Each structure stands twice: as structure tokens, then as C-alpha cells.
Amino acid sequence: MIMNLQTAAQINEFLAAFVLLSAFGMLAQKRIYSLIHLFAWQGFFLSVNTAIVAYVAGRHHLYISSILTLSLKVILLPYILHALVVKLKIRKEVESMVNVPATMLIGIALVIFSYHLTAPVTELSKLITRSTIAVALAVFMIGLLMMITRKHAVTQIIGFLAMENGLFFAATSATYGMPMVVELGVALDVLIAAFIFGIFFFHIHTTFDSLDVERMARLKEGD
């Protein structure tokens, strides 16, 4: 084997660090285009990590997962999100319900909580990916945090997609991936959801001339 287990584990941890950094970048980012680019980079690191795990563990179905991640989350979904932003003419910075320093502190707390929660699993696991289980859980919770704290509907859907990245990363880290049928089903569901959300956002923007969740809530209260 060209790549030994120790080297593979180190590369896996290195890529996991970049996945986590991209999650924090999305959490702090206010510009919508930069947010989409960070999501694409997170998908790229996740795709490369999956391919390395597939090579070392001999799980050939993970190569398909890696290609799916690359085509769906690095190319197709960012393209759809970019087209949606252009179509809806979103130019301003996206506001957050919580200021950036406080949000980042909450994110750090979630990472610490993730390491504490997954410590027993990490000790029992014999997989080379065991050290990244905590990172996967942290990425999932940071995506959830982004959904909760952002006011704009488009950034909330990016948070949802980041959560799905965390779930996929957790599956790869904990069990070397889900069965191929499940992964294909999830990929199809995410793609369909992206199209539905795009149509849904377009109609909301046409009706309310805004995708600000807080503004729509005020309009509902006024009725």
C-alpha cells in the first residue's frame, strides 16, 4: 500500500480541519457570494477526504460518494445558489440575529461540546477516521447554528446544506459511509430540495419583495 495508515490518518485530520474552518468561515461571513464559495470549498475538502478514506479502507462505494459530493456540492448546488442570488438580485450583506463575535464564541463552545460528547466513541473506535467524528458533529451543529441565527432565507438553506455535509462527514468518520442506496437517495433528496427551495424563494421574493425572515414575520404580525 502506497499510503500507510498513519499518513492517511494525518491527511484525514488535516482535511477535517479545513472542513471545520470552512464551517466557521460560513458562520462569520456576511457576503452571500463568499458564503456560497465557502460552501463549495467545504464540499471539495469533504470530497477529497472521502476519496482518501475509500482508498485506505478499500471501500470502493466511497469513490462514488466522493464523485457525487464533488459534482453536487462543489459544482451543481453552488451554481444553483449563485443563479438564485442573481435572479433575486440579492446584493446587500446578509444580517445575522446575533453579532459575529458572539456567534463565533458559540461555535467554539459547540466544538468543545462535540469533542466531549464523542470522546467515548473515539476511544472505542479502531477506524483511521475516529479522530474526525467530533469535527463532523461540530460541522453539523455549526450549520444548525447558522440556520438559527441568520435572517435571510437563502443563507438559512446554505446552513441546512452545511448540516447535511456534517451528517455525511459523520457517516464517513464513524462507519466508513452509509450504504450506496442510502447515499444516492440522500443526494437526490438534497438536489430536489434545492430546486424546490429555489422556486419557493422566487415566489416569496415576488410576493413580499424580500427574503428577510424577520421582515416577513413583521408583515404576518401586521395582518
pLDDT digits (tens, 9 = 90+) for 143-156: 999 888 887 777 88
* Sequence-distant (≥ 6) Cβ neighbours of residue 89 within 8 angstroms: none
Q: What is the pLDDT of residues 3-22, one digit of tens each?
A: 566 777 788 888 999 999 99
* Sequence-distant (≥ 6) Cβ neighbours of residue 15 within 8 angstroms: 45, 46, 48, 49, 52
Q: What are phi and psi of 96, to 5 degrees?
A: -120, 150
- pLDDT recorded at residue 219: 47
- pLDDT recorded at residue 59: 78
- pLDDT recorded at residue 88: 72
Residue range of the domain that includes 99: 5-222
DSSP 76: I
Q: How confident is the model at residue 210 (pLDDT cuts 50, 70, 90)?
A: low
Average pLDDT over residues 123-142: 84
What is the SS3 assignment for 210?
coil
- pLDDT recorded at residue 195: 61
Contact between 106 and 145 (Cβ < 8 Å): yes
Alpha helical stretches, state H, the chain: 5-28, 32-57, 61-69, 77-88, 100-124, 133-149, 153-175, 180-208, 213-222
* Sequence-distant (≥ 6) Cβ neighbours of residue 126 within 8 angstroms: none
How many domains does the structure of the chain reveal?
Answer: 1
